[in-house]
Structure formats: structure tokens, C-alpha cells
Chain A
Amino acid sequence: MMRPNTLNLESLVPRHVQRFEPYIPSRPEEELRKLYRFQKLYRLNNNENPLGPSPQALEAIAGFHPASGCYYPSGDCFYLRQGLAERFQLNPDQFIVGNGANEVIGMVIHAFCQEGDNIVTADKTFAVYEWVASFSGLETQLVPLQGFSYDDPELLRRMNGKTKIVFLCNPNNPTGTYWDRSRLCRFLDAVGIQHLVVLDEAYAEYVQCPDFPDGISLLHEYPNLIVFRTFSKIYGLAGFRIGYLAASGSLTDMIRRTAVVYSVNALAQVAALAALGDNEHIQRTREVVQEEKNFLVPAIRKKGIPIQADQGCFVMLRMPINDTLVYRKMLQRGIMIRSMTGFRFPNWIRVSIGQHEAMEAFLAALNEVLDDAQ
């Protein structure tokens, strides 16, 4: 009997997966160097910690016995959840750790949503909520930002009986705007407990404004609230892929059912637990980011370039030329920024705050690119 030589992917693959457009991450530095021929690369595209991992995490990583790599890690990040519970005065069962916060987004959506349900979020925010919903066959209601900020009345208006989860990024990536405590609580009160609210606080540790809400402290008041945090940003462990969520025990009991145990490797768990206690590193990172923002923002304003600089370790600039051209021209000069067309911000770029040398290099390259454009 003849064996057919082509797969019928039309019938094998669900339509919502066929329709989904996969995200293509940046190529490794060496490959980019071959294409763009830069000498040195300053990575200002992923909002990584300009100081790197905390010294305590580095020490813990160095102390990790390579031979123990043959053993499975703690399947549910036992000690890290103990550490998180102690820090936030909650029960360890109220935490679920994932292979980066991206994994916990998937866990939450899969735990609560089924065919016909929808999620609601902003149109210009962290893209992964929309991605996971799309390739899971769910509808995403995208609400336009108002003045760079989440639009609470419109978010409420778009919710319907099929809405399971509202995703809020606070402070928002990429605009850096945030809802203060009273605005967030008014929104949570208005949503009611028929829907879940996810509060993604990936950049919360960078915010020092007194009215910024600590989502984890609100878990006692709002049983439908789920808070995401990550070790990729201020803790400087992006390469280890580790993040977590906190929620009421009854919610984590459900979410845990969609969590793949052992997805967080042993080294990441060790590094994260050590980083969690390094308050000095967090403080130093905040100071460096603030100092460099204080250097960068006026320099950009002086050039007459519109800038959106609020909370977080990044700023956005509206360029007089197309952002993807700026990306290529900056990369030729060894500066990697994020072009924002893909975030639905055409002609904007996002720049991560780096150390002073990187900010100087960025400004010098930007001057050249702007001169070229004239």
C-alpha cells in the first residue's frame, strides 16, 4: 500500500493554531554581528537588569554542584515558595512558580477558559496575554489605551458574560503608566467576583511612588485577583526563566491542575531564592535606573523627540522615521533597541535603561541616525 507523503495539516491542526502567527525572537548576538557588523553590542531591547544578577544569586549559582544536574528539581519549587510565603506573609500554597511568567500566563488561561470564552486587555501592552489566548482558541477583546494608560471604563464596558479574565499590566509595558491604589480598587470593585483579574507586576519593584498598589497585599480583599511577578527584570535572572503568581488558595488549587511540574530547573530555583533576599541589589538597581533616566530623558527632550517616560526600566521615543529602520541603523552601530510597530506603536522605539556607558553610546548612535535622516 502506498504511504501518503504529505501531512494533511489542514485537518490535523486546529484553525486557531493555523491562524496564529508565531513570534520570531531576535537572533543570537553572534548571528546579528555577522549581519550588522558591529564591534560591541549594547542590549537595550529586553528590559534586562543593567547590573546583572544579584551578587547573592551569583554566589548561589557558583555554589550549585553541576553533578546534581542529574536529579530532578523540586517539582513545585518547594523552598522558593517557602521563601516567597515568608516574604509576603502568605501561605506557600498561594504561590505557583513557572518557567518564566509567560508559563504562568498559560496556566491561568488554561485553568479557567474554554471554547467560547474571552479575555479582555489593552491593545498596546505585553503581548503574551493575547498570544496565549489566540493559540488557545479564545477571543481577546483589545481595548485601546487612553493617553498611554489602561482605560478602565472601556475595559468594564467590553466585559461580558463570556469574559473570564481581565489582564492588567501595572505598570504597563511599554508605556510605564500605572493605576494607583484607589483606581485599581475601584476597578476591582466594579468587576465583581464573577470575573478574574490578573495583575501583571513584572516591573512593580521599580516603582517607588507611594500610591503604587502592591497587588499581593490586595489578595486578602479580592478573592478573584491573581498577581504575576518575575525574576527576569529587577532580579536580573532573565536567562534562567523563572516567574511566579500569587492568588487565593482556592484559585491556586485550580491553577496548579494546569501546571506542568518540574518545568522550573534546579539552578533557576536556587538563583531565585538567593536573589529574593538581596534587597541591597534591588535598591542599587533602582538607583542606577533612576540616575540614568535622569540623564537620558532631558537629553532626548532637548532633541525635541517626543518621549514617554514613566515607571519601569525603559522609556519610549517617537521617532521622526520608521522605527524598524531605526532598529537596523542602531544595530549597525551596536545598539539593540525594540522597535514598537509590533506593539501597535508605529514609529516608536522602546529603550531599556542601561548603565551610563550604554546610555552614552545610545545617545551618540541616535544622534547619527537622526542626522542621517535629515
Chain B
Amino acid sequence: MKVVVLPQPHQIRLGFFFHGEQFDPWSFNIGARISADDDTSLEGLGLLLAARSVDSFTIRPQELGNIEVWMTKKRTYPQTAPAPRESRTFTGPLTVGSASQESIRMFVGNLQAFYPESAFPAFLNSAGRLIDMLSAGEYDLCLALDDRGQVAGGILWNFLSDRAVECCGPYLFGPELEACAQDLMDAVINRIAKTSAVCLVSRWATPDVPHGTFEVLGKIHSFTLAEGMAEVPVLGRFLKEDEGLYVWTTPELEKYLGEQYGRLCIARRLLPAREEGERRRRHSVIAAHIDQQHQSALLTLALDGEDLESNILQQVASLLLHGVCVIHFELDLASAQKARLAPILMRNGFEPRLVLPHAGAGDIVLLEKVLHP
């Protein structure tokens, strides 16, 4: 086995590379249970403890029966206190550019003061975490500063895949800053226009997004203690002239995809993803990322297996116990195997809510199940 350790300021990543034809990763599932009376299940105790000790993991089967497992443990950071929410006057022309550590602290303080929790991802609760994530290159941030260095607004973004970027914002900290919102949005687009990114999406768009910048890809549910459950739009735009893709689908999903691709004028050829009788592992693994602040979970298929449907039901039951209200399941339509999950999810209460173009190896369709409407 090869072990790789990647220390970063805000997290540590451990990679395990091994031959694993007989490897049973079942206890990675959040719904997995160990019983002291069952010797077979006790064999998975180590993996179960490992999976529960980290914040996220991925499992990727490789060629020749090799397995790649990545586990990520995040550092904890103190929460940044909100800045005083007072009327601000910005002086001189606003300059949009990169941020210093001090301006990042001001940005996060302002964010806590001016926006509800539902408007930004949980990691933006801490300036320290954001500073470390920016220095690790995980995110980029553009701020609008006035000539006294006051932060009037900001926007941040990261690559979801080689071809898709997600942005959060623009966040504005005063009235009459429409031009600033446009400058921030243009700054992001211009920064990524000549990269590999084909699509820009936003699950964290604010009402200040300049009109005409994005299309509405769909709506998802979002929950916070302060605001309860709400439907929020997810936005997206292409950055390049899309040249079309093949995507795998099933009859249950086909109508939805056809409608969405038609509505958004996205040229796609739909291929039927059928069971072809290939041998499957006994146990599947579903990776779960829980967002405590928004009481939501994002699931992805890490490894396919014969027990997939029962595993999904176990995951849902387990997430319910964790207090999760909204579950999202991402299916990458570049994979026929993943597309074949759609009917299983749909008959268990998940609904397709939107398509994220190029967000994975191909387009990703996001299915949602609301547990506490």
C-alpha cells in the first residue's frame, strides 16, 4: 500500500493506494453499523472509525483492481464576529482586485453582518479558514475596496471540476452598489475566461447578481435555523461556445433532461444507460458530505454494488438521525453506471432538480429529497 499525506493550512488529506479486488469498503457508508455480536461486521471496525473520524472521503476504483482512497480532515477555526451593521459611505472610486489578509477579515465580518446564513457556505463563518483556503489555492477571492481600504463587496469562486467553476456572491455591504456588483462579476468571468472552465455555476447567488449574467438552472431547498426551509435558485452560464456532449440517461430521467436541455438550449445527445449484466461488487459505498449549518447532505456514488438500493435507504435513515433536512444526490451523466441510479433514487422519493453542465466528468444532475418540509 502506498500512503500519501498532503498537509494544507486548512486541512490534511491522506491518500491510500492499494490493490483491492477483495476489499470490502462497506463500512465507509454513513449508514453502516457494527455489532459486537457479529464477527464479520467487526472486521469493518477500523474502516468505520476512519470514515467517521474524517470530514470527507472519496473512493475511486482504478485499473487492474487497484483502489484509491482519499480522506480529508479539516481544521476547526473560531467563528468571526459580525462587523457593526451600520450605514457606510465609500469614498473615491471602488477598485476590484485581490485581497490582503486584513481586507479578508473585514469581508468575513461584513458578510456575517449583512447576509443571513443561507446566503453563504458554512466555511465563510471564519476569516481564518478563508485566509488559509485562499493561500492553499482552493478558492479565489476578489474584493471591491474604496480609497480608504473599506470593503464594499466581494465575490469568491473555486473549480468544481476542470471544466466547471462555482462562485459565491457577489456580496455587497452598502446601498447603491449595482456597478460594484457588475465589476465583481466581470472580474470573476474575466479571470476564468481563458482557463479550462466551460461553465460558471452558483448555488450561492445573491439578489445582487447583475441581471442577464446567468440562467436559472433550477431550484433547490435550503434550510437554516433562523429562516427555516426555502427554495433557492441555482444559476449557471457557459463561458465558452458549448460544443455539445453525450450524456447517459434512463427512461425515468429522459423527459426531465430533455426539458432542461431544451429550455437552456444546451445541445446534448442522450444515450440509454441499461443494465448490461456486468459483475458488481457486493457492497456499494455512498460518500456523504454533511453541512451542519444548513442541515443538508450531499451524496455521491463512490462505489457501485449489488446492495445499492438498500444502502440508499440506510443512508437516508441515518441522515435523518443526524438531523439532516435536505439530501442532494449528484449523478455524473458521463457515467452510465451512475446514470442508472436515477430510477432507484426517484422511486425512493428523490426528484431531479437541476442539471449542472460540465460539473463532473460530464454534466451532473442533482436529485433532491426533502425530509422535513
Which residue on A lies nearest to B240, using beta carbons? A342
Chain B CB within 8 A of A82 CB: no
Interface size on B, residues (CB 8 A): 26
Which stretch of B65-73, B84-92, B206-214 is in the interface? B206-214
Chain B CB within 8 A of A322 CB: yes
Q: Which residues of B contact A324 (CB under 8 A)?
A: 237-242
Asked whether B190 lies within 8 Å of A346 as measured between CB atoms, the reply is: yes
Q: Which of A32-68 contact B (CB under 8 A)?
A: 35-36
What's the Cα separation between A346 and B237 when bound, in Å?
11
Q: Which residues of A contact B242 (CB under 8 A)?
A: 324, 328
What's the Cα separation between A328 and B261 when bound, in Å?
11
Closest Cβ–Cβ distance, residue B262 to chain A (whole Å): 10
Q: Which of B186, B194, B243 contacts A21 (CB 8 A)?
A: B194
Q: Which residues of A contact B190 (CB under 8 A)?
A: 123, 344, 346
What's the Cα separation between A31 and B244 when bound, in Å?
10
Asked whether B267 lies within 8 Å of A35 as measured between CB atoms, the reply is: yes
Q: Mark interface residues in A328-360 (1 if CB within 8 Å of B CB, else 0).
A: 110010000001011110110000000000000
Q: Say whether, besides A320-B212, A324-B242, A339-B241, A346 and B189 are in contact (CB < 8 Å).
A: yes
Chain B CB within 8 A of A325 CB: yes
Q: Which of B211, B212, B243 contacts A24 (CB 8 A)?
A: B243
What's the Cα separation between A100 and B193 when bound, in Å?
25
Q: Which residues of B contact A150 (CB under 8 A)?
A: none
Q: Which residues of A contact B265 (CB under 8 A)?
A: 325, 328-329, 332
Chain B CB within 8 A of A314 CB: no
Q: Which residues of A contact B186 (CB under 8 A)?
A: 346
What's the Cα separation between A319 and B212 when bound, in Å?
8
Closest Cβ–Cβ distance, residue B32 to chain A (whole Å): 34
Q: Say whether, besides A35-B267, A346-B186, A346-B189, A321 and B196 are in contact (CB < 8 Å).
A: no
Q: Which residues of B contact A26 (CB under 8 A)?
A: 241, 243
Q: Which residues of B contact A325 (CB under 8 A)?
A: 215, 237-238, 264-265
Q: Say whether, besides A320-B212, A325-B215, A342 and B239 are in contact (CB < 8 Å).
A: yes
Q: Which of A320, A322, A327 contacts B215 (CB 8 A)?
A: A322
Q: Say whether, besides A21-B196, A328-B266, A341-B189, A347 and B239 are in contact (CB < 8 Å).
A: no
Chain A CB within 8 A of B76 CB: no
Asked whether A321 lies within 8 Å of B189 as measured between CB atoms, the reply is: no
Q: Which residues of B contact A321 (CB under 8 A)?
A: 212, 215
Asked whether A344 lies within 8 Å of B193 as measured between CB atoms, the reply is: yes
Asked whether B243 lies within 8 Å of A322 as measured between CB atoms, the reply is: no
Closest Cβ–Cβ distance, residue A42 to chain B (whole Å): 16
Chain A CB within 8 A of B195 CB: yes
Q: Which of A286-329 contact B (CB under 8 A)?
A: 319-322, 324-325, 327-329
What's the Cα separation between A267 and B177 when bound, in Å?
58
Asked whether A24 lies within 8 Å of B240 as measured between CB atoms, the reply is: yes
Asked whether A347 lies within 8 Å of B243 as measured between CB atoms, the reply is: no
Q: In the complex, given contacts A341-B189, A344-B190, what are 14 additional A-B residue pairs having Cβ atoms less than 8 angstroms apart?
A: A27-B244, A31-B244, A35-B269, A319-B212, A322-B213, A322-B215, A324-B237, A327-B241, A328-B238, A328-B241, A341-B239, A343-B193, A344-B189, A346-B193
Task: Give me the interface of B with A, judged by CB distance under 8 Å.
Answer: 185-186, 189-190, 193-196, 211-215, 237-244, 264-267, 269
5 interchain residue pairs of minimum CB distance: A324-B238, A35-B267, A328-B265, A35-B244, A344-B190
Interchain residue pairs with CB less than 8 A apart (19) = A31-B244, A35-B243, A35-B244, A321-B212, A321-B215, A322-B214, A324-B240, A324-B241, A324-B242, A325-B237, A332-B265, A339-B241, A342-B193, A344-B193, A346-B186, A346-B189, A346-B190, A347-B212, A373-B212
